[in-house]
Structures are given as C-alpha cells and as structure tokens.
Amino acid sequence: MLFAAALTLGAWAQPPPTRQELTNLLKSAPAGWQVTQAPKLYDEDNLWEWIDGEAPEVLAYRFDFAGSALQTSGDLRVEIGVFVMKDPLDAFGLLSHQSTEGIKPAPLGNASFWEGSQLHVWRNYAYLRLLPSSEDLQARTPVRELADKLLEKLPAAEKIPPLLGLLPKNNQVPTSLAFVRSNVLGDGRLSNGVSANYRAGGKVMKVWVLDCGSKDGARQALVVMAQILGKTRTISALGDEAFAGTAELYGPTMAMREQNYAACVLKALPPDFAEALLRMLTVRIRISEAQGG
C-alpha cells in the first residue's frame, strides 16, 4: 500500500496551511541549505506560469493554491513545489496521478514515493514534490532530509478519508490505489472514484468504487455504468442491485450499488473472484457507514 502504516479512517482534525504559512515555510531553509529562488504563490489564474503543461492535471482536482521555491545545498538544487488542495482526497488524488505500479513507497507524510531521486509526498491537504537537479540516487538522502524539515511545519493528519479505505487489501496490487474527482471511466456523469488493481489467477482486474453522495445518486451512477459496461444480466443477492456485462474496451464486467456507493470491476476474470471482491466491498461499505464514514 502507498499509505503510511499508522493511519486510521475518519475525519480530518487539522486545517490546511494558509498562503502566509506556506510562504513562511518555503522561505525558511534548514541548516546547510539556502533559498536561491524566493517563494512564489500561484492560484488557478497563474498556475500555468509555473507548470504550463501540467496545470490541467492539477485543476482536474479541487485546487486551492500552490507555492514553489528553489533551495540549494552545495551543488544540489531542489525545486520545492507544494500544492494545497480543498480536500485531502484531492491531495491524494494528485499524488496518485503521478504514481505508477512498481514505484518505491517512502515512509513520509500520509503517503509518498520515490521516482528516481524525485520525492512525492501527500500530507493532509497538501501534495509536495521535491525535484533535485541530480538524478543520482545518492541525492535521495539530502532530499529526504529536506522533506523531513518541511513536513515538521505542515499540519499533520492522523486519519484518512473513509473512501480510501473501502477497497479490500487482499490481492491488491501495491501502489495501484488512485482517486479521480471527475470523468470516471471517461464519462462526465461519473465522479468521486477510487480505483485499485487486483491480481488473481494470473489476471489483473481494476475495481472502482464511487461515492455518489446519496442512494439516488448511486442508482443514477449504476444506470450510467450499465450503458458503459454492457449490462447483460442481473446478479441477485449482491449489494442493493448488481449486474454482469461485457464491453469491448473492458471485457467482462460487473457492477453494483450499495447505499450511497456504486462500484464496478473491469476485466472481471476470474468472475468468481470479481464477485467476491464486490461482496467484500459491500461489507466494508456497511461497516464504514455504521461507523459514520
């Protein structure tokens, strides 16, 4: 899993950093480092000035503001970028958008990983990325030390959003968990989805679970899924309603709704394992709802 081990499910107690707090953070260099490019803040209107081609990817989530600065230690320069989001789910989503299977998790923040010598961290409402000038893996040590100092001054969180804890952990492909705010399955009618890949019988399938906000919303989402996933038959005694289907893009499929959630399995082979995943998800949703998730 991409998560730090100590996290539990529930609400967030700490607020996001303010613009002034982020500015103060970025202009404060730890021992052995110096600020060589002053902090600059960005909002939706000028984000492109900093990360032109990447701005649409950031704005696909609930973005608040961001800040960047350059800090230097000896010959090593590190561009620090901090994206403050309006919801911790969006901060995780932005992190997961950068990740790929097989990356090396790092025990920092709420979730983090290394991409070569680059470090990506999710911490509550913030997504941080540290981009060093050197691709040498030995740069990881000073980059990690710099990240530790930054995280000391960011609001901590002891709990994760409940949606991120719904998907079963058994057989889940490490670091495959991801969140998207909109256009789930490429359809603008589906939103707020968490996905993960699962291995069984030499096959890999993808499972989505969507927080639809209400039972009516879940019903509407399942209707859309039936159109996309090629519903062929109803599955009884699974969630509040369920079906199996087949689609050219996704192969065998299954989908269900349970309370305020809709879920589906793509490339649902072997089918018994896919159905077992949805049954387990049903139980996890009921437990989460009973606990006030």
Q: CA 33, CA 46: separation in Å to the nearest integer?
A: 28
Domain boundaries, the chain: 8-159, 162-290
Note whether 277 and 240 are within 8 A (CB): no
Identify the pLDDT of residue 4. 43
With the C-alpha atoms ordered 118, 90, 17, 155, is the resulting torsion angle positive or negative? negative
Q: CA 58, CA 66: separation in Å to the nearest integer?
A: 10
Q: 10-residue block means of pLDDT along the chain (293 residues)?
A: 43 78 94 94 95 92 97 96 96 91 82 93 95 94 94 80 92 92 96 96 94 97 98 94 96 97 97 95 92 71
Q: Are 8-159 and 162-290 in the same CATH fold?
A: yes
Identify the pLDDT of residue 135. 93
Q: How many CB atoms lie within 10 A of CB 20?
A: 9
pTM, two decimals, is 0.91
* C-alpha triplet 102, 162, 82: angle, nearest 5°: 60
Give the DSSP H or E segment for 67: strand 63-73
Q: CA 106, CA 103: separation in Å to the nearest integer?
A: 10
With the C-alpha atoms ordered 56, 60, 1, 267, is the resulting torsion angle positive or negative? negative
End-to-end CA distance of the chain: 21
Q: CA 1, CA 94: separation in Å to the nearest integer?
A: 16
Cβ neighbours of residue 46 under 8 Å, at least 6 residues apart?
none
With the C-alpha atoms ordered 57, 167, 255, 292, is the resulting torsion angle positive or negative? negative
Note whether 231 and 252 are within 8 A (CB): no
Identify the pLDDT of residue 1. 39
Identify the pLDDT of residue 124. 92
Identify the pLDDT of residue 138. 93
For the stretch 38-95, pLDDT in tens is 999 999 999 999 998 899 999 999 999 999 999 999 999 999 999 999 999 999 999 9
Identify the pLDDT of residue 264. 98
User: Which CATH number fits the domain 8-159, given the four candidates 3.30.2320.50, 3.40.1000.20, 3.40.50.300, 3.40.50.2300?
Assistant: 3.40.1000.20
Q: CA 168, CA 288: separation in Å to the nearest integer?
A: 13
CA atoms within a 13 Å half-sphere pointing along the CA-CB vector of 50? 22
Fold held by 162-290? Protein Transport Mog1p; Chain A (3.40.1000)
